[in-house]
Amino acid sequence: MSSQAELYEVIEDYYGWFLIVIKGDIVKVIRKELNWFIIEKDGKVGKVPAQNLRPYSTHTPQQSQSLIARLKQSEILDQTEEVSVTPFEEDVKYEDFEIDHKFFGGAMGKTFLVKYKPSGELYVMKRGLKWFDLFGPSLKELICIQSLNTRVWELFAQIILAVNFMHSVGVIHRDIKPENIFIMEDGSARLGDFGLSLALNDKYYATRAGTRNYMGPEVLMQGKMYFSSDIYALGIVIYEFLTGKHPFMAQQQDQDIVSNIKQGKYADIPEWIPADLSKLIFKMIDIV
C-alpha cells in the first residue's frame, strides 16, 4: 500500500455515485489499495478501480511536483469555503446539455448524467414532477463531504427504519432503488415513490412490480414479492452507494444483469469496505 501522492491518467470512464472521472482526466492518487485507488479530483476524494488508471508520465518530475503543489493549494482553498448547492445563476435550456449516460428510471422521473456544453462540466439531471426540488442537495454531493462508510451507515439506518415501519403495518414497497431515495435539506434520507406499494393484508406475497435490476431471483422466476424482496433491493442499493456499481453488473447491461441475479452471480465486495458492512450487504443480497 502506497501513501505518496502520484499523478495518474484516467484511461476508462468511471461513473461512481461519489466521484466521476472521465477518460483523459489527470488525477492525484493519494493511496493505493489492491484493486482500488483513492484519488483526489477537483478537491474531492473518492475511490476508483485501479484498472481505470495508469501512471501519468507526460510531465517531467519537476512539472509533476508543481502540479501536485497546485492541487494541494486547491485543497486548502476548498477547505476554507463552505460546501453549498446552488442553482445556475444564468438561464439555462435543455439544449445546453448533452446526455452522456442514462441511469435506471422510475415512476418519479428519469435520471441522466449530462454534460453542460458551455463549460464541459458534468451534472446529474433528473426529469421529474413539477414539485420535485431540482436544486436540493444530491446524495453524491452530501457523501463527498463526510467519511464514505460513516455516511452510508447513517443513510442505511434511516432507510431501513422506513422499510421496517412499512413492513410493520403490512405494506411492501416493491420499488426500492437509488432514484426513490431522496436527500432532504438537513441531510437525512427519505424513502419515496410509493406508487407501487401494496398492503399484503392476509396474503404473504404480492405480484411482481418495480424495476427488474433490483428484484431478487425468486421475484424474477416466480413473479412473487415478499417483505424480503424489499431487503434484497436495499442491499443492492447500499452496494451501489459504496462502489458506484451494481453488484450484478454485466457487459450487456439489463438482460445479463437479470441473468446474473437469477444465478446469484454477483461481484466480490471490495476489500476496503469494513467487514461488518460487507457482511451486512452479503446477507441482504445472498438468497439461500
Pairing of strands 97-102, 53-55: unpaired
Is 193 annotated as contributing to ligand binding?
yes
Is 35 annotated as contributing to ligand binding?
no
- Residue 122 has a pLDDT of 72
Pairwise CA distance, residues 140 & 90, whole Å: 23
Pairwise CA distance, residues 37 & 35, whole Å: 7
Pairwise CA distance, residues 9 & 22, whole Å: 9
In contact, 214 and 129? CB cutoff 8 Å: no
- 109 by DSSP, 3-state: which? strand
In contact, 179 and 194? CB cutoff 8 Å: no
Which position among 13, 25, 133, 175 bears the catalytic label?
A: 175
Domains for the chain: give ranges and CATH numbers. Answer: 6-80 (2.30.30.40), 94-140 (no CATH), 146-285 (1.10.510.10)
Question: For this structure, is 133 an active site residue?
Answer: no
Cell 477547505, located at residue: 79
What's CA 269's distance to the chain center, in Å?
A: 15
What's CA 256's distance to the chain center, in Å?
A: 20
- 75 by DSSP, 3-state: which? helix
**Per-residue confidence of the chain (288 residues) as pLDDT tens digits?**
444 568 899 998 887 656 778 888 888 898 887 778 888 887 777 788 888 899 887 554 544 554 555 555 444 444 434 434 445 556 677 778 887 766 544 444 566 677 888 887 777 666 554 433 433 444 444 444 346 677 788 888 889 998 998 888 888 898 898 888 887 777 788 888 888 888 887 676 677 777 888 888 888 888 888 888 899 999 988 888 887 778 887 655 556 788 788 877 788 777 777 888 888 888 888 754
Is 42 annotated as contributing to ligand binding?
no
Q: Give, in degrees to the nearest 5, the angle at Cα 243 between 254 and 179.
A: 55
Give the bridge partners for 122, in sequence order. 115
- Residue 58 has a pLDDT of 55
